[in-house]
Amino acid sequence: MPIEETLYPVNLRVAGHHCLVVGGGQVALAKVEGLLEAGALVDVIAPDVVSELDARSGVTVQRRPYRSGDVAGYRLVIAATGCQEVNAEIYRDGESAGVWVNSADDPERCSFTLPSRLRRGSLMVTCSTGGHSPALSRWLRQRLEDEIGPEYETLLCLLSEARQRMQAIGVHTEDRAWQDVLDSGMLELIRSGETGRAKEMIDQLVDNP
């Protein structure tokens, strides 16, 4: 994969959909956890799995090697077998079946890559290098963890509630001065425990078209 390639960013809705992870080690476990966090229904195929996968609720484990065609019918598939040949077969099967496949640590055999992510409630910030350096993605995410604290989740909730109130009374939301409000110091108010004052500032935006 040339480093100049531009990837198209997208957030996938996988809640309630069947997804497959092929592999049973620690890397596969991390991928399973990410899918479960997003509400996916996860199947695992591997001859052996780590104990954490065995104990994880919401996961169906098939203790066997991957077989050609196993990817059919899944929303997406993650190949984390640790064997390049098997991961390559999974990728080829996915391409034939029209199923999105991510091959762990093998960007040339990925139809999508997984960014390093930071969640604060519904707020998600991602760092991606297009699969060229997962270590750099993780490093950047760790730096952002100190900057983007739980106050951002509170801010998002206040803004979302205000937007919903506007929509409920038929007021357009896109022409409001959201940027001015965000630049007005409300984040610092939330950090100092003055969430009520921050809410008042947002309410002024709602009440004054």
pLDDT value of residue 179: 82
CATH class of the domain comprising 18-114: alpha beta
pLDDT averaged over the chain? 89
High-pLDDT (> 70) share of the chain, %: 95
- pLDDT of 54 > 70? The answer is yes
pTM of the model: 0.79
DSSP string, 147-199: HS-THHHHHHHHHHHHHHHHHHTT--STTS-HHHHHTTTHHHHHHTT-HHHHH
Query: Model confidence over 142-162: pLDDT tens digits?
Result: 999 888 999 999 999 998 988
Which tokens belong to 35?
């899918």
Q: Where are the domains of the chain?
A: 18-114, 151-207
High-pLDDT (> 90) share of the chain, %: 56
Stronger pLDDT, 207 or 72, i.e. the higher one: 72
